[in-house]
Structure 1
Amino acid sequence: MNEKISSNRRNFLKTSTTISAAACAPVAFGATAATQQILPTATNAALDLPVITQRRTLGTGASRMELSALGFGVMGMNYNRGPHPDRKAMIALLHQAAERGVTLFDTAQVYGPLINEELAGEALQPYRNKVSVTTKFGHRIVDGKYMNGELDSRPETIRRMAEESLKRLRVDAIDLFYQHRADPAVPIEEVAGAVKDLIQQGKVKRFGLCEVSAQTIRRAHAVQPVTAVQSEYHLMWREQEKEVFPVLEELGIGFVPYSPLNRGFLGGAINEYTRFDSGNDNRATLPRFTSEAIRANLAVVEVLNAFGRTRGATSGQVALAWMMAKAPWIVPIPGTTKLAHLDENLRAANLQLTSGEIRELEEAVSKIQIVGDRYPAAQQRQVES
């Protein structure tokens, strides 16, 4: 396994310049034109480019979802992650992800707001019969503007937002519709009932929840089966293992970790001198991304680097491989704006960790005191515990 990963990384370095140029070439819109810009599967194989073939299932029964073992978070392509390449380059990169076997793409109405859904809809329209695009409702958006901190999961709002998301995503039915944050003003049973109605109408295929407690999951699932729960989860934040994971396993619900690399931190490219001051990067507001917190928490990255060094893997690959080894119903959704990082993430699926290696890694990280909360107080209040 180590020799295979090392070989893959050497081959990647040989071909990355050529492929980056192809992926970021101007893309003409429309299914036919877009396909012409994509490296065909045969070319991917000939160049030894990473293609993810492993599959996983979220949920059970009629609500199940069969997907690639690794998904793609679209958010950072034009929202909350600083300066980004132009739209055509991001569309080309999403095409590359789809061509490399990724079948799960995640967005939300509040990302932008709305512009991230539009990007995902335009880019993935040529693949709409091959990939699943998931989105989220629940934040109050008025005339295209996010009413900061305000939630709205009233049934009438859910119905309206579903109709609007269908248009932006350019699909006939939303593959998985998450409630983005629990709305204390609306019982979860009403939320689940509203989504159930949309499923019966054929406008939504499946129901999901984000950042909710085990109790909320049970109550929602009793009304409409929940396919997946989405939450932050990585080696620096494992709270869901205590109460949420047992319920997910009991009820047959999948788990989709967002920020599986802790917003890029575990990839190793961030240090105490990194500045998030573009006006479009929420890390500037997060306690865990102050200079002091970064300096202290880099000890985690050092552990990952040391672990990966003898296995031919990067710190980010180790973090993703650990997560995928935790349970077969976990599908992480790392995002990126760079082809090199997409390649790196996909290769993480080739790193298979034993139970002993998982314990070794977790024990090493557990000795480090993580500095900084993951959200400011106002945002933390929207997260159920």
Structure 2
Amino acid sequence: MSTPAGHRPFAEPPTAVPPAVEEQLRTLAPQVLGVLVRRMGDFAACEDAVQEALIAAALHWTAEGVPEQPRGWLLQTATRRYLDLMRSEQARRRREEKVAREPAAGAAPTSDDSLMLLFMCCHPALTPPSAVALTLRAVGGLSTAEIARAYLVPEATMAQRISRAKQRVKASDRGFDLPGPGTKEWAPRLRAALHVLYLMFNEGYAAARGSALRRPDLSDEAVRLAREVHRILPEEAEVTGLLALMLLTEARRAARTDADGELVPLGEQNRTLWDRHLIGEGVRLLAGTLRGGTPDGGPGEYRVQAAIAALHDDAARAEDTDWPQISALYGLLEQLTGNPVVSLNRAVAVGMAEGPAAGLALLDTLVGPDADTGPLAGHHRVYAVRAHLLELADDIPAALVQYRAAAAGTTSLPEQRYLTARAARLHQRGKA
């Protein structure tokens, strides 16, 4: 398997696994882990048991074929592995009795176990960042490096955070019972769960590293889970806003690459390829939240982002984009989140609305003229944004330097190829 080492969705078996079997195991892993944690309550031990069951399944299914009830097979194997891990005979008997009261292993699930696992991982004993990291690991199958990049922290720091999160959950006596809506624990649990889905979707839509531009398995699963959360909580404005944001963004997927699979930026996309059905659904969802908001009555960050996405999708041509309104919305989003990436996007929007000089001036206040200050210091996106604004200002030599710096800094190969090609085109333009 090609999953990076360290905090993988499941351990790598000592043999090649057919892609279809590997994909099925990745889909079933969070479902089985959710059931086992709900039954046993020990996240760390359950995760170890599921890891071992996945290795056994990879070997067995590769050699003898996938069983008729793969989920039941995997759950039964994981349960046995879990019970084998229990050293106390008394503890073993208690848990076996509890399992005996559950439906048969092959029975159809009565709830979405992936969704339940999502809320379980957003445990009250954890800080929100730790809950997000743990859930991205357990439900989304992201590597430690991918999660660290989403948080803009070193990989070693994120590895420690995930390890501490599992230890804290194991030591907690709160259990994995889900709080009911309206309780004091409900709002932070829901907020963390939505943030998890947001990061999962972003990593699937635009992979932070590797040879693939996107990981549709992650973005599709994030949309599916967001739909399920919305089905359960249709009156939660931010739930609806997040789902709308995902759909309005996902609508552009077919236009994001050219015939050779290379990245196409938003301003150059063939908008006839955009999925108008998804856009319509996203706009309707967003419109339904106009009277909703956060508990203090203000707008929520996902609704604001969905509004920005809707403005992009509403423009028949790139030049028709309502940049002044988008710039204003990014200003509001910056106030809501304090996120430096939002500030970076605002610089782009200001540059498009008021001219590249205004965008560059704002960028300098964020990271300095040499991109050496603030939480985004040295980040490749800073160089890419500066290059774009310099190109708009027709400063070709300076834009070339920034595009090359951005290409050298990204870990996404499709993005690196795009930035390199952009620099090459500018180089030819400068020679003309």
Q: TM-score, normalised by structure 1?
A: 0.30
Q: Greater relative contact order: 1 or 2 (C-alpha under 8 angstroms, separation 6 or more)?
A: 1
Structure exhibiting the larger radius of gyration computed from Cα positions: 2
Q: Could you say which structure has the higher strand fraction?
A: 1
Q: Could you say which structure has the higher helix fraction?
A: 2
